[in-house]
Amino acid sequence: MKQLYWAAVAYTALGLPSGLFYRELTKAHQFTGKTELAVVHTHLLALGTLFFLIVLVLEHQLALSNTRSYRWFFVVYNTGVCWVVSCMTVIGARTVLGYGEYKPLSHLAGGGHILLTIGFVLFFVTVHQAITARREEQPGGTTVSSSAGQHVS
């Protein structure tokens, strides 16, 4: 659980100054157009901080870290987020500084999005494995239906 907590803290520590960086860089260069820098702040706080706070609650309830796929999810997802945000930052800064589009960087950003997608899939696999393990832990292998209060196998 500490790992998830520190991941949320790290994304917060990156997300807050990224908003400041966007504001100050665009102000210093009198830039008023659209740039990827405008959404780096939001991506870090939503895909990083908020997401990992939700995962932290699920870890507490379902013990996600006891599943086979948890470590893969954690590594691939974080790599994807960091990769995407890094590309967005470089692309956005290049835009503000007046450099043209750099195609290889756009392709790299696409690779980061693919990793992020795989990370999300692994997250859902992890949650499914944790729910299945929780169900199998219950005595007699039965679960209680929350709406009717009846036992079902």
Residue corresponding to tokens 């690779």: 111
How far apart CA 55 and CA 74 sit, in angstroms, is: 10
**Rounded distance, CA 5 to CA 100, Å?**
39
Tallying the residues shown for the chain, one arrives at 153
* pTM of the entire predicted model: 0.85
pLDDT digits (tens, 9 = 90+) for 79-131: 999 999 999 999 999 999 999 777 888 889 899 999 999 999 999 999 999 99
CA distance 151 to 91: 55
* pLDDT band per the 50, 70, 90 thresholds, residue 153: very low
Q: Residue 111's closest CA among 75, 95, 87? A: 87
